[in-house]
Amino acid sequence: MKIGELAQQTGCATETIRYYEKIGLLPEAYRNSNNYRQYNETHMERLRLIRNCRSLDMTHDEIRDLLAVIDAPQQTCGPITDIITEHLQHVDTRIQSLLQLRQQLEQLQHACANEGTAEDCGILDSLSNMTPLPTNDTHLG
């Protein structure tokens, strides 16, 4: 199948498919005599797995590690569990960061009574004078 058909069947943009090939997540497609890429069922299955991992906010490196285990089917599934466990820790860190962000936004929301002009706005005053929350290092960078 051509790239457009693969894109349609997987719901993935052709540019994304080319990018996944370029960074090594998706194996390069066979090129026919007119230099068009030709994909097969294996490409489609792998692309679906990549898309599902991305829908879980997994990074390319996490997906690459997962694919490396898949490509060595004699390995135990322990490394797969480790990848998911580590990703879950990243999610927990992000949740904590988002909860802190929510609290800070609620404080800002209550800093203004919707009276007066923008010049007198408590939210703008708070934004100008607040101390930002520390950024948590996550796997997203």
127-136 pLDDT per residue, tens:
888 777 666 5
State mean pLDDT over 85-105.
94
- The CA-atom distances, in angstroms, between 13 and each of 30, 96, 134 are 19, 33, 36
pLDDT over threshold 70, residue 138: no
Cα–Cα distance measured from residue 83 to residue 2, given in angstroms and rounded to the nearest whole number: 32
Give the highest mean pLDDT range of 78-82, 106-110, 127-131: 78-82
Question: For 3-55, which CATH class?
Answer: mainly alpha
pLDDT over threshold 90, residue 21: yes
Task: Show me where the domains of the chain are located.
Answer: 3-55, 81-129
42-77 pLDDT per residue, tens:
999 999 999 999 999 999 999 999 999 999 989 898
| pTM recorded for the entire structure | 0.76
Instruction: Give the Cβ contact number of residue 53 at 10 Å.
Output: 20
